[in-house]
Chain A
Amino acid sequence: MPVRIISTQQRVTAFLEGEIDHHTAAALRMEIDDAVQRNKPKTLKLDFADVTFMDSSGIGLVMGRFRTVQPLGGKLIVSNLSPQVYKIMKLAGLEKIVTLSKREDVNNAEIK
């Protein structure tokens, strides 16, 4: 599963693509943590716009990244979630530790 990472000192943004499962999560974790350790950003953002499937390994990935940024004093934002993934993350109680936001409807975004 590919991930594109844009890093600054302020913020690391990881654009996740494709399917997140136990198999793909390991490589994602390494790439994201590597960028976080190098930049020690104030904010880590995980962008789920191009994620087509996720199981509970995705929950583990988010919880694990929270534990990576927390000791550095950073915060975690998880954005562009599909309605179903948003629901699972809420069920897992992730909104208590990270900022979750749903995928914006493309049509509405254009009108705005």
Chain B
Amino acid sequence: MQKLNEFKMTIDSKSVNESFARSTVAAFVSQLDPTLEEISDIKMAVSEAVTNCIVHAYPQSVGKIYITAVILENNTAKISVRDKGCGIIDIKQAMEPLFTTLGGERAGLGFAVMESFTDKITVRSKPEKGTVVTMYKRINGRAVL
């Protein structure tokens, strides 16, 4: 699919940036005229992906998080969140609902939320190299109502 518009940003893996990242991506996608619910879905998915980078990819240090959002044909947004952190050894296990390596206050629902609130998600990861999460969401917007 052809790229119609693209936006890139790099942020530090600091938790204070979670809100900045989701709001910025949501603002970029708003050119597709999404409903409030669609905006909220995107914010939630981005928040989960960025939080994973902060708590899992760079657990003991601050690294960089690379976010790209692309507007494709068919009113589709493609959002990639990439890190150069520790990587995921078993992606299938990591994506299982309620699985978490941290326990306690983490629900283990990050990937489940990303899957539920977008149309498609792919995860590529290499231990010690990093992870890329790519999510696609078609914005139906208010036009169809």
Contacts and interface: CB of A to CB of B under 8 A. Distances in A.
Interface of A: 19, 21-23, 25, 29, 53-57, 59-61, 63-64, 84, 88, 91-92
B40 A53 contact: yes
A1 to B, nearest CB: 10
B107 A53 contact: no
A55 B44 contact: yes
Contacts of B43: 53, 55
Contacts, number: 58
A55 B47 contact: yes
Contacts of B47: 21-22, 53, 55
A56 B110 contact: yes
Contacts of B104: 60, 64
Contacts of A63: 105, 107
Contacts of A55: 43-44, 47-48, 51, 113
Most chain A CB inside 10 Å of its own CB: which residue of B18, B44, B105:
B105
A49 to B, nearest CB: 17
Tell me the interface secondary structure of chain B in the complex: helix
Contact of B113 (A22, A25, A56, A61): A56
Contacts of B51: 21-22, 55, 57
Nearest to B116: A91
A92 B109 contact: yes
Contacts of A59: 107, 109
A63 B109 CA distance: 12
Nearest to B100: A60
Contacts of A84: 37, 40
Most chain A CB inside 10 Å of its own CB: which residue of B16, B106, B110, B116:
B106
Interface string B33-73: 00001001001100110010011000000000000000000
Among all A-B residue pairs, the 3 with the closest Cβ atoms:
A23-B15, A56-B109, A59-B107
